[in-house]
Amino acid sequence: MARIDKRFGATDGWIKMPDGTEHYIFGFVDLTGVPEERPALYRGRATLPGPLLEVDEGDEVYLTLTNLGFPGRPELDDTHTIHWHGFPNQIPLWDGVPETSISVPVGRSFTYYFKPADPGTYMYHCHFEPVEHIQMGMLGPLIVRPALEKNPAFAGRLFAYNDTATEYQREVILLLTELDAVAHSRVAAAQPYDWTEYRPHYWLISGRSYPDTVKPADDPSLPGQPFSALIAAQPGEKVLLRFINLGYELHTLQLLGLPLRIIGQDAKLLRGYHGEDLSHSATGLTLAAGQTVDALVTASRPGIYPLYNRSYHKNTNAGLTFGGMVTEFRVVP
């Protein structure tokens, strides 16, 4: 157990699609370790998704949220929160739901406290006006690593849960969202938008649309989209795929040529009431909004294996094929 001090800023920014279009977003930026006189320099530098929040089971996590405002919409004085979605042991004050807690005004900060008791894959998002703020990009991945990794008998080994059957050698976060270009354009232009008219034009994995999904992490051409969705492994390695759906649609993904072993769902190891192993093999999986799934894949033979959304219209960029919610699993010798 350790004390973890993190600081995120809430602000705005811009992201790019493979067709050359740019889109206004709200989001978060990592301010951890930034000197107190410099956070303002991070205004307008939000990323999609937000920074990875990664902690160990039993850590005491102090997460400070600073509202930096929106330089692209300076008249908009929205408050913000951080809600740890699916966290089972939270009290209302630190749960980030503004109706039962507080939200952070522009220029102010608030520190949340978490003590994660259960390992797994989670997500966080702003809970103030969530329909708008989540679609605009105020979300990010959250991982709680199991205490088993701290056991000296398993030093240097990686596990998804406190079970040796969940061991893996590599992991990739695949955070699913969509982007309604009309909504983002209207918000950027300070025009009203009826969210019941939500119609996505882009389907994203970790903030990117194919072929950008397979570009490396922190690619300089995508400063607002630092996460890569490319999966790479060597033959024989086990890869943990952490699926997170923070879009508003149901998504069904398929991995051709490599079977998935579904081992966890919503940050829970798949076990029965009496400890029965409920993990199972699948060629694809369906995620509802707000759901996470952990799957192990063994990289068997060298090759490039496509991972894609089974809805054809989600394999496009603004209606033009080929693109969208697609990435590659590359097994290299």
Pairing relation of β-strands 53-56 and 139-145? parallel
What is the full per-residue pLDDT of the chain (333 aa) written as tens digits? Answer: 799 999 999 999 999 999 999 999 999 999 999 999 999 999 999 999 999 999 999 999 999 999 999 999 999 999 999 999 988 767 888 888 888 888 999 999 999 999 999 999 999 999 999 999 999 999 999 999 999 999 999 999 999 999 999 999 999 999 999 999 999 999 999 999 999 999 999 999 999 999 999 999 999 999 999 999 999 999 999 999 999 999 999 999 999 999 999 999 999 999 999 999 999 999 899 999 999 999 999 999 999 999 999 999 999 999 998 999 999 999 999
Distances (CA, A) of 37 to 13, 54, 212: 21, 26, 35
What does pTM read for this prediction?
A: 0.96
What is the structure's pLDDT at 100?
A: 86
